[in-house]
Amino acid sequence: MEFVDLRPGGRLTEYAAVWHQQRELHAAVAAGTAPDTVLLVEHESVYTAGRRTASWDRPTDGTPVVDVDRGGRITWHGPGQLVAYPVVRLAEPVDVVAYVRALEQAVMDTCAEIGLPTQRVEGRSGVWLGAEGGPGARRERKVAAIGVRVARGVTMHGLALNCRPDLDSFGRIVPCGISDADVTSLTAELGREVTIEDVEPLLRVHLSAALTPLLLAGTTIGDATADDPDAHLTLT
């Protein structure tokens, strides 16, 4: 599995350009002419809406939204957020839930390594901090969102880990369609600045460990298996 960093020098990347690159790479991986690849990106500020996005999830102030072919609902991408797009061929039978759990595990292991314990929330994908009672009570908070598409046995889209974004950017929407929880970042939770540069090398290691057992064994450039015409969507 190869990693391609699309943010040399901290460059921000337009969402549409990377989405186009994903689609081209997806076709090549599905055809067996490109290796399993993970694109690492820091986007220009953008709102993207998955197929389950409701009208009330969207901004009401005219802010543009890009409609995309992943699962889930609306979210924000932008500066201070590390986005990983694995374009990889999964072993058969394809298990989308296991794939999402592997992405979650990679993020949880990354967070643990920098000193932040995280968890899953039943019925919701992503990586979370639990609710806290007592004075200054806090609701459940999501630090990483996940939304994927799997077609022809090959994945698209992926995960977004909040390192030090402007969390006010989530205020114009109902993030992931979840109104009874909040969005947070590594910086906000740890009380110190956590940059993408701090996190990226750790995420690479943990993504490799979590995803490798799910990949089609022995696939090399030039190999291909029968295509699955069905696309599988998971929730954000």
**Residue 197 neighbours by CB under 8 Å, 6+ apart:** none
The residue written with tokens 């394809």 in the block is 94
Find residue 59's DSSP bridge partners: none
* Count of all residues that appear for the chain in the document: 236
**176, 199, 203, 211: which is the annotated catalytic residue?**
176
Query: Does residue 176 have an active-site annotation?
Result: yes
Q: Report the DSSP pairing between strands 2-5 and 37-41.
A: parallel
CB neighbours (10 Å) of residue 1? 15
DSSP codes of every residue in 135-173: TT-B--EEEEEEEEEEETTEEEEEEEEESS--GGGGGGS
Closest CA to 148 of 166, 125, 131, 168: 125
| Active site amino acids | 176
